Chains A and B, each alone.
Chain A
Amino acid sequence: MRSPGGMKTALAGVAVAALLGIPAQAQNEDYRVYVSNEYNADVSVIDPATNTVMATLPISGRPGEVRPRGVAVSPDGRTVYISVSDFNPQVETPEDKIVAIDVETNEILSEFRAGGNPERLAVSPDGEEVWASLEALAQGAGYKVEDGSEIARFPVGVEAEGVAVSPDGRWVYVTAEATHSVTVIDAENLSVVTHRLVGNRPRVVEFSNDGTRAYVTAEIGGTVSVIDTQDHTVIDTINLGLDSRPVEIAVAPEGDRLYVAGGGTSAVYVIDTEENEVIATIREQMGRRPWGIAISPDGSRVYTANGLSDSVSVIDTETLSVIDNIAVGRGAHSAIVGRIPNEG
């Protein structure tokens, strides 16, 4: 799961299961995989039990003009948020918005305005705030989920892209592609704390489950920067190779691995978070240009959104191999896992 809050919930579930002597696997909720299709202006919903598309949710009737990209999920896993913009980054249009989808019903719950070409999203651990990178304005902005009102917006680097909220809700990190920077926002005091330089063309940032680390991919630099969230300094740089082109990151439920989508190389890099080293590279049967990546609540499956093959690759994390490829919409961009209660 990409949401730190969601991860926290998943870990809590495991802990409770351990106390009760119940196998963690039995506590698993049902889940669905949501994939934003940039060129289809819709969202594919995948049933992981059958690896088939169970629904396609239209975001707009104007594919090719309206583009859903970033995805995020509420801490309880029940609401998926999609950032929607258009293909003319500098023009403010009504399409610049955030859409909330109910995982149980696959219906659109609400939507609210987020001007400035919102690209990616993150949800606060209390589920009350959504933070977005506003690419065209070089800003990061927070919104109240309840009514869509804007909490604050801050200057970040040029071409804002990745955004993540720390598991304790204190920090919002926003990356900027053109200026190789991460801006740290204090979400409690609503102020910018600092800016940090990371690798060349930073894309996505994710926090570790315990919140002590943040990981930032750098697409052109071919690196993952490891940031100590205590003082927001880069303490390590994991080199994936100049041509690795990493984009999204999925943190394993146990926190011991990162799965990094290597977009331009049609690969997934598996990183050991203790050693901060690449321990495997998955290439065989991978779809083309995986940008999005998400992991199942039990950590057994990884899903990649493959933008050039319009597909989702399913990876078995035990064998680290692709076990299925699922056709989705055109320009699969990002993936997230939403959860629903297991009625059984």
Chain B
Amino acid sequence: MISGLLSGMTNGLGRALLILCMLVPAVQAQEDVAVRGVVGVILPEVGQDESLRAALVEDVEQGAVMAAEEFSMNASLFGIDFQVVVEHSPAARETAARLRQEHGVAAVVGGIGRGDAGELSAWAEESGVPFVNVAATSDLLRADECGAMTFHLAPSAAMYIDALAGWFVRSGFRRWFIVRNDSSEAQDQHERLVSALEERHFAAREVGSSVWESATDYGALAGEIAASGADLIMLLLPAPDQLEALSSLDAAGVEVMTTGFPYPAAQTRAFFDASRNAAPGLGSGFRATSWEPTLDAYGARELNARYLQRWGEPMEAGAWAGFQAVKILYEAIVMGGSAEPEDVAAYLGAENTIFDLWKGIGASFRPWDHQMRQSLYLVKINETSSDRLDAALLVGELPAIYMPGTDPVERLDQLGDLEHASRCRGFQE
């Protein structure tokens, strides 16, 4: 399905922009250049039994559509034809190739999950067309599988783990019990978490762990947790499994603060609602996110309000990622003055390129693994929520961006792997 995006504008700013585009068609553009840039957004087809993933996909699409509406209008002011094509497909790699052939896309956006992101990253390296990953957190994609044409807008697992460790340890939670599944991704997260606790936080440590499976005996697990003396439980599980674990541990009488790895599907309001409902005791805890629709500072009020007006629902993390991915590609084309894929990649990766993600600080892709530096947020699931907007309460930001006297790049690099720790060595000249 290819969406004609501007046709979807029905209200608010979108309507205003469309009308203005029609009424004020041409002024002298800055350089009088005639550039045409097309960005492809590739999203998976989601089954009806995957409600959390479906919510994420819808969010990413809506964010991308809103960005397309805003920035295609703005590109026209500069004499540039900027378009976004959205496709839902079970075969990300083939779809990317077709979009390149049919539309000449300058870059693709996608990565709803490790599988799609891996496919698109591999295609990007093969085709020389940049790929912006909006939702895959796997550190492996930034390490052994890193690529010169892949740019990670989605925060990495290492960044989330560092943020969570920082928040909870500073709040006095120093005895961590880790519940994970037996996937290699969860194992990597586990090792990274233990490393963060041991190397960055004095006196914080892992006091126990358990490998989760569908037939887990929660009574026994609750006993293990109690015996360990843990003051925090970390669930390194996919979003649906986190809900089951929360529910079961809650039912088993566990009263230890519990959080989980913030996979993008676990950052949705749908997840927060399900968590609160599934586990009255444990399910209203603190969670990490890449964006929060109640964020008010740094111009976020305006962005969140525009989205709310456009779609009638809060701008969740997935929507923010879809919006920002399109925006940074718009900037690469308009400010870089070219829609050639290699030029777009060069703009994205240049060390002096700065992006405004509405987080109040200049963000940039780290040169050693193309991970976007950015701050993250801590929210508390609202146990008395009455609507989707107040399903979570913003309680923290890490790193704190107001730290005069410190280098902003070093400040942001407090999260994630620094160059010396990176296993990506493949694309730097």
Contacts and interface: CB of A to CB of B under 8 A. Distances in A.
Interface of A: 87-91, 135-139, 154-155, 157-159, 176-181, 183, 191-197, 200-201, 220-222, 242-243, 264-267, 283, 289
B108 to A, nearest CB: 22
| Nearest 8 CB-CB pairings of A with B | A90-B309, A155-B20, A220-B356, A243-B408, A192-B27, A89-B305, A179-B74, A195-B77
B376 to A, nearest CB: 18
A183 B299 CA distance: 20
Contacts of A157: 74, 77
Contacts, number: 114
Contacts of B362: 200, 220-222, 242-243
Contacts of B407: 243
A193 B301 contact: no
Contacts of A154: 24
B402 interface: yes
B17 interface: yes
B78 A264 contact: no
B360 interface: yes
Contact of A138 (B13, B299, B334, B360): B13
B408 A158 contact: no
A88 B335 CA distance: 31
Contacts of A177: 299, 356
25 contacts: A89-B301, A90-B309, A91-B309, A136-B302, A138-B17, A139-B16, A154-B24, A155-B17, A157-B77, A158-B13, A158-B73, A177-B356, A179-B71, A179-B74, A180-B335, A181-B77, A181-B78, A183-B77, A197-B30, A200-B355, A200-B356, A201-B356, A220-B362, A221-B362, A266-B404
B27 A197 contact: no
A37 B331 CA distance: 34
A87 B300 CA distance: 12
Interface in B296-320: 299, 301-303, 305-306, 308-309
A35 B254 CA distance: 54
A180 B17 contact: no
B302 A135 contact: yes
**A89, A157, A176, A197 — which one has the most chain B CB atoms within 10 A of its CB?**
A89
A65 to B, nearest CB: 13
Nearest to A153: B20
Contacts of B306: 89-90, 136
**A135, A196, A243, A267 — which one has the most chain B CB atoms within 10 A of its CB?**
A243
Contacts of A266: 404
**Chain B interface, >50% SS class:** helix
A207 B173 CA distance: 54
Contacts of A196: 30
A200 B21 CA distance: 23
B13 A137 contact: yes
Contacts of A176: 74
A197 B334 contact: yes
A181 B74 CA distance: 9
- Determine the interface band of chain B, counting residues with CB < 8 A from chain A: 35 or more
Interface in B162-214: none
Interface string B1-32: 00000000000110011001100100111100
B125 interface: no
Contacts of B302: 89, 135-136, 159
**B21, B74, B401 — which one has the most chain A CB atoms within 10 A of its CB?**
B74
**Chain A interface, >50% SS class:** loop
Given A158-B70, A180-B335, A195 B361 contact: no
B354 interface: yes
A220 B30 contact: no
B409 interface: yes
Contacts of B301: 87, 89
**A135, A179, A221, A289 — which one has the most chain B CB atoms within 10 A of its CB?**
A179
A221 B331 CA distance: 13
A160 to B, nearest CB: 10
A155 B24 contact: yes
Contacts of A243: 361-362, 404, 406-408
A283 B28 CA distance: 42
A222 to B, nearest CB: 7
Nearest to B79: A195
A179 B303 CA distance: 13
B16 A195 contact: no
Contacts of B334: 197
A191 B28 CA distance: 11
A282 to B, nearest CB: 12
A220 B20 contact: no
B27 A194 contact: yes
Interface in B74-94: 74, 77-78
A246 to B, nearest CB: 12
Contact of B27 (A178, A193, A289): A193
A196 B334 CA distance: 11
Given A158-B74, A264-B360, A90 B408 contact: no
B9 to A, nearest CB: 13
Contacts of B21: 155
B261 to A, nearest CB: 30
A87 to B, nearest CB: 7
Nearest to B364: A242
A195 B408 contact: no
A213 B404 CA distance: 30
A332 to B, nearest CB: 16
Contacts of A155: 17, 20-21, 24, 73, 77
Given A89-B305, A222-B362, A242-B354, A195 B27 contact: yes
B354 A221 contact: yes
A214 to B, nearest CB: 15
Nearest to B359: A220
Nearest to A283: B404
A144 B315 CA distance: 38
A222 B356 CA distance: 11
A267 B335 CA distance: 29
A192 B303 CA distance: 25
A138 B30 contact: no
Contacts of B356: 177-178, 180, 200-201, 220
Contacts of B27: 191-195
A180 to B, nearest CB: 7
B380 to A, nearest CB: 22
Given A90-B308, A242-B354, 13 more contacts: A88-B305, A136-B306, A155-B17, A179-B71, A180-B356, A181-B77, A193-B27, A194-B28, A194-B29, A195-B29, A200-B354, A243-B362, A266-B404
